[in-house]
Amino acid sequence: MAGIRETDFTEVEIKKLGIRIGAATKADVLDCVGKLEEEMECKTRTKSCGSKTLKTRTKGTGNGTLKISAYAPQDMLADLYGMIRAELKDGVIAYGSNSLHAVACVTALILDEDDNEKFKAYPNCTIQTALSRSVDNDSEDIAMLELEIAVMPDEHGEGLYEAVVNDLKDDTVKQKWMEEFSRELVTTVAA
């Protein structure tokens, strides 16, 4: 099959996380990330005759959920949660009924136990939970921001793209994945 490699890759660490919001041309890449959890969805259809199952088929939907913990800059947080208001003075942001959570492309650089690299991309995402933060005077550790993100399929039905870096032959893909991921970047010309 085209595109399939037999590379053994066990995900053990997230090294970087990129978030490109809306029509931005490049993602902001975060180097201090604590966790990335993904759960993609599928649906199963069953063909039955009476009480007998004749056939089942399971297919991905392109939808899913990401849970991320990271230190996110204030500007990124404001953009993701739709907190920018033109009518407010410089430096003032707000969260409320006018806050439309932004659509973003999320990319990640993952390492295996031997420090081999894998890229991941979720091209059509939006935060699906309300703004939630905690400040704890008794803690010596600074808490990371916890984000729960809805993954939706792109216009091609895909919610997740990934590639083991050693399997990639195109240097442009390697260079641009984290900041400028797009379907066009990873599609063959003769598609």
Q: Using DSSP, state whether 78 is helix, strand or coil.
A: helix
Please provide the size of the chain in residues. 191
Confidence of residue 190 (pLDDT cuts 50, 70, 90): low
Q: What is the pLDDT of residues 87-110, one digit of tens each?
A: 999 999 999 999 999 999 999 999
Q: Using DSSP, state whether 13 is helix, strand or coil.
A: strand
Residue with tokens 């990319």: 107
Q: Is 1 a residue whose pLDDT tops 60?
A: no
Q: Is the pTM of this model over 0.75?
A: yes
Q: Is 10 a residue whose pLDDT tops 60?
A: yes
First to last CA, the chain: 14
Q: What is the pLDDT of residues 165-184, one digit of tens each?
A: 999 999 999 999 999 999 99
* DSSP strands (E only) in 31-188: 33-49, 52-70, 103-111, 117-127, 145-151, 161-164
Q: Please choose, from the candidates 37, 12, 27, the residue with its C-alpha nearest in 3D space to the C-alpha of residue 114.
A: 12
109-68-186 Cα angle (round to 5): 35
Ordered by start, the domain boundaries in the chain are: 13-186
Cβ–Cβ < 8 Å for 99, 117: no
**Structure tokens, 133:** 């933060």
* Distances from the Cα of 15 to the Cα of 23, 54, 118, 126, 139, angstroms: 25, 45, 10, 22, 25
Average pLDDT over residues 2-27: 84
Q: Average per-residue pLDDT in the chain?
A: 91
Q: What is the pLDDT of residues 24-57, one digit of tens each?
A: 899 999 999 999 999 999 999 999 999 999 999 9
Q: For residues 136 and 61, which has the higher predicted lDDT (pLDDT)?
A: 61
